[in-house]
Amino acid sequence: MRRVSNFNVGPGIEAVVRLQLVRRKRDMHVVSIRASFVTGGAARFVGRIQRRSILGILVALGIGLTCAAGEKAPNSYRGWAVYGGGPDNIHYSSLTQINRRNAGQLQLAWSFDSHDAYPDSEMECNPIVAGDTLYATTPRLRVVALDAENGRLRWEFDPNKGEKVIGKQRNRGLTWWRSGADQRLFVVAGHFLYALDPGTGKVIKQFGSDGRVDLRAGLGRPPETLSVSATSPGIIYKDLLILGSIVAEDLPSAPGDIRAFDVRTGVTRWTFHTIPHPGEFGYDTWPKDAWKYSGGANNWAGMSLDAARGLVFAPTGSAAFDFYGANRLGNDLFANTELALNAATGKVVWYFQGVKHDLWDRDFPAPPSLVTITHDGKRIDAVAQITKSGHIFVFGRTTGKPLFPIEYRKVQPSDVDGEKAAADEPLPLKPLPFARQAFTEDLVTDRTPEAHDAVLKRLRQVRSNGQFTPPSLQGTVIFPGFDGGGEWGGGSFDPDTGYFYVNANEMPWVLRLVDRGSANGPKTARAAYLTNCASCHRADREGSPPEFPSLIDVGKRLKPSEITGIIRKGAGRMPAFARLNNDTVTALVDYLTTGTDRSVKAAALPGESYLKYRSDGYNKFLDPDGYPAVKPPWGTLNAINLSTGDLVWSIPFGEFPELAAKGVRNTGSENYGGSVVTAGGVLFIAATNHDNKFHVFDKATGKLLWQTQLPAAGNATPAVYEVHGREFVVIAAGGGKSGSRPGGTYCAFALPSHESSSPTHTPSR
C-alpha cells in the first residue's frame, strides 16, 4: 500500500514524502520513507524508521505539517471528522479492533437520549468526531457535543431558541474546519447557515451577520419569497465551505445554485448557476427566461472532494416542477448532473447528465464515492455515483470518461399536452443494476391470492413499461420507486478489495398527473389548496404519511397560528410559502381547520410559474393489506466489484416483524441510511425501517455476524472512530419514516473493555 502526502514546509521549500507500509506490529508501523526537498538546490534523504518516529524526524528536518478537515494525512481512515467518513465519501474505516472474529461480542458502550423526539420527527445525522468530541444534531435540530468515550453532554446549541418545533426538521450532518487554533463547526437550520465554536457551542459573531448567513440571499430573487435550506452538510476545501441546498420541488422554487462561503467571514466567494444564466454554458438547453423563474437542479445530497486535485463533485437533482415540464422544455442542463467543479473557482471541469428533462424525480440521491479501482489492468482514480433507478455510473476522476459502456435508450413520447420528453436517456451497461427495473405481471405479489388479484387488476389499469415511461393522466408506475433503488445513505467502498456496498429499496409507486386548476390563480380557499398543497397532501387531504402527513383534523392537533407558521416558514420537505398573501394564508388555514371554502383575494400567478398539471400525490403501490405490491425482496443489501462491474453477493435486507412471526421471513423492507465497511472485515449498517435493527455483516460473504434492537429505526449512516485505543461504532436511532415510531437516541457500540485492550488485527479478505 503506497500513499503520497504533500506537506507545507514554508516559503521556497517543497517536500514530498512517500510512505511505504512494510509490515504491521501491533500499533507500530515499519515504513520506508523517501523525501525530496527543494530549497534552492536539491537534497535527498532515504531511511527506514518506526512510524512513531516520523513526526520527530520531519520536525527535525524543518518540515511543518498542516492538516485541515478535507485533506487526508498518512494513516488515514482511523477517524470520522467528515460526513461520510472523509471527503472522498467512501464510508470506510481502517480500524480492525472490531472484526469478523469478535463482532458477536459487541455491546452497548453508551447511549445519549436527546429527549427531542416528537410525533412527526426524524433523525438522520451521521455524527462527526474531532479529537474526543462527537458532534451531532437532534430531531429538533439542536447541535450537541458529546464525550465520544461515554456519551456525556458537553454543550448544546439550539437554533430555535427554545421555540416549539413543528413538522420534520431533517439534518444529515455537520461540517468541521480547523486551521491551527482556529476552528469552526457549521450547521444549517431553517434558512440559516451558522458557524459555532466547537469548544463551547457559542455562535461565532464574526461570521456572516451576527454568526449566521441567510441562504435565501444572493440568489437573484427576493429572499423573502424563497424557501432555501440544506439537509446535507457542506464540504471544506482550504478556507471555503462549499454548500448545496434543498429547495421547493414545485414552482415557484429557488434556483439550486452551488456556493462557496469563506469559512471565516461567511462571504460568498463563488457561485455556480445550475440553471445557467445568459452567456453561460448550458443556457440554450432551457427556455430563454427559465433562469428567472425556474428552480431546483439543486445539490441536496451532498458532495465529495479530491483535495489533492482541487476537484469537488456535486450531483444535482431534478428541476421544478418534478413531473411536468412544459415550461422548461429542453434537456435542462445542469439538472440531474454529475458535476466536477474546480473547488477554488466553481468552474466546470467536466459533467455528465444522467437524466435529460427529468419527469420522474430521478435526482442523484447521494454524494459520489471517490474510489481507486483496477480497470483494464490499470489502477484508476474514479467516481462512482449511485442512482434511484438502481444503477452505478463509474467515471474517470479527472476526465469524466465512463469506465463502462453507457447505452442511450429511446424514450416513449409523452402524450400529456404541452410536454415533450427527451428522445433518449442514458443507462450504464455495467455494473449491472442492483434493483429490479420493471414491475411486470410476473412480479405481482403472491403473498395471498386476494392480494395478488387486487394488485394485478390495478396494474392493468396503469402504465408499467420500465425505466423512462413518461408520466400520464392514466397513471405510470415508477419502479424501483421514488425512494430507491439507491438512497441518500449512499454506498461504502472497500479499498482493499474494490468492493462497493449499497442498500436498495424496491417499492413501486404510481405517478398520475391531474389538472391543477385555473391559470389565473386560485379564487377560493380549496382552489388555493389544490394549487399549492395537493401534490404532496393529496386532494382528499389524506397525504402519504409519514413523509407527507394527513391534514384531516389538523385543527385538532395544531393551533391556527401554528398552521400559519408552517405555511409561512415551511417544515421538513415542505417549503415556505412566503409568496402567498395574507388573505390566501388565512383562507387556507380556515379551510384546513373548519372546511370553510371562501373566496380569496389572490393575485394571478406569473405565466412562467403556472403549470397546467400537478401530481395527485406520492402514492405507493400497495396491496390491500398495506404491503408492497411487488414480490419480495422489498429491500436488499448488495456487494459489487467496481473493478469488473460484477455482483459479488446480494441478500434480502430487513423484514416485517408481524410477517416474520407468521413464518414469512427474508422479505426485505424499506431501508434508509448507509453502511460503513472496515479493514476488520465487517460491514456496519442499521437502516431497516420496520424491525429497528442494527447489523454487522461479513463484508466478504454477506453473512450476518451480529444484530441488536435499537430504540427506533436507525435511518442514518453509522460513524466509526477510536478514543483512547477503543473502537466505537455509533448510530442515530431516529426512526420516523414510513410508519416507524420516532426516536432521538444515539447508540454507541464497542467490544467489552477487556477485549478492547488487546486489539486483534484481522486480514481484510
Surface-to-core class of residue 217, CB atoms within 10 Å of its CB (0-12 exposed, 13-18 middle, 19+ buried): middle
pLDDT at 175: 98
- Of 553, 572, 604, the residue that ends a domain is 604
51 and 10 part of one domain:
yes
CATH number for the domain that contains residue 295: 2.140.10.10
Q: How many CB atoms lie within 10 A of CB 52?
A: 10
Asked if 506 and 518 count as a contact pair (C-beta separation under 8 A), the reply is no
CATH number for the domain that contains residue 536: 1.10.760.10
pLDDT at 517: 76
Q: Is residue 714 part of a domain?
A: yes
Grid cell locating 604: 394571478
Backbone phi and psi for residue 527, each to the nearest 5 degrees, phi listed first: -60, -40
Query: For 402, which DSSP code?
Result: B
Cβ neighbours for 644, distance < 8 A, ≥ 6 positions apart? none
Q: How far apart are CA 186 and CA 598, in angstroms?
A: 45
Q: Is residue 223 part of a domain?
A: yes
pLDDT at 753: 85
Whole-model pTM: value is: 0.87
Asked if 280 and 334 count as a contact pair (C-beta separation under 8 A), the reply is no
pLDDT at 518: 64
526 and 505 part of one domain:
no
Q: How far apart are CA 433 and CA 467, in angstroms?
A: 12
Task: Please report, for residues 106, 382, 675, the alpha-carbon distance to residue 695 in angstroms, rounded to integers and kept in the order given.
Answer: 11, 29, 10
What is the domain extent for residue 19?
A: 2-66
Asked if 621 and 458 count as a contact pair (C-beta separation under 8 A), the reply is yes
Task: Please report, for residues 56, 95, 416, 493, the alpha-carbon distance to residue 679 in angstroms, rounded to integers and kept in the order given.
Answer: 28, 6, 52, 11
Q: How far apart are CA 25 and CA 29, in angstroms?
A: 6
Low-confidence ranges of the chain (pLDDT < 70): 1-75, 518-522, 545-547, 571-573, 602-609, 754-765
β-partners of residue 319 are: 296
Cβ neighbours for 728, distance < 8 A, ≥ 6 positions apart? 109, 148, 149, 720, 721, 722, 748, 749, 750
Q: How far apart are CA 593 and CA 412, in angstroms?
A: 43
Q: Is residue 73 part of a domain?
A: no
42 and 173 part of one domain:
no
478 and 569 part of one domain:
no
644 and 567 part of one domain:
no
485 and 546 part of one domain:
no
Instruction: Write the pLDDT tens digit of every residue in 122-136.
Output: 999 999 999 999 999
483 and 525 part of one domain:
no
Q: Is residue 718 part of a domain?
A: yes
CA atoms within 13 A on the CB side of 589: 19
Task: Please report, for residues 442, 618, 636, 763, the alpha-carbon distance to residue 445 in angstroms, rounded to integers and kept in the order given.
Answer: 9, 21, 17, 42
- Of 604, 637, 666, the residue that ends a domain is 604
549 and 507 part of one domain:
no
Residue 22, helix vs strand vs coil: strand
β-partners of residue 719 are: 730
pLDDT at 109: 98
CA atoms within 13 A on the CB side of 132: 11
Return the HEC string of 112-176: EECCCCCCCCCCCCCCEEECCEEEEECCCCCEEEEECCCCCEEEEECCCCCCCCCCCCCCCCCEE
269 and 409 part of one domain:
yes
319 and 348 part of one domain:
yes
Q: How far apart are CA 272 and CA 282, in angstroms?
A: 12
528 and 506 part of one domain:
no
Q: Is residue 82 part of a domain?
A: no
Asked if 17 and 58 count as a contact pair (C-beta separation under 8 A), the reply is yes
What total of structural domains would you count in the chain?
3
- Alpha-helical (H) ranges within 411-543 are 449-459, 525-532, 534-537
Find the length of the chain: 765
pLDDT at 85: 98
Q: Report which secondary-structure segment, H or E, holds 554.
A: helix 554-557
Grid cell locating 240: 471555503
Grid cell locating 562: 401554528
DSSP 189-231: ETTEEEEE-TTT--B-TTTTBTTEEETTTTSSS-GGG--EE-S
Query: For 84, which DSSP code?
Result: G
548 and 638 part of one domain:
no
The amino acid that residue 612 corresponds to is K
Q: How far apart are CA 229 and CA 212, in angstroms?
A: 13
Q: Is residue 542 part of a domain?
A: yes
Q: Is residue 76 part of a domain?
A: no
Q: Is residue 764 part of a domain?
A: no
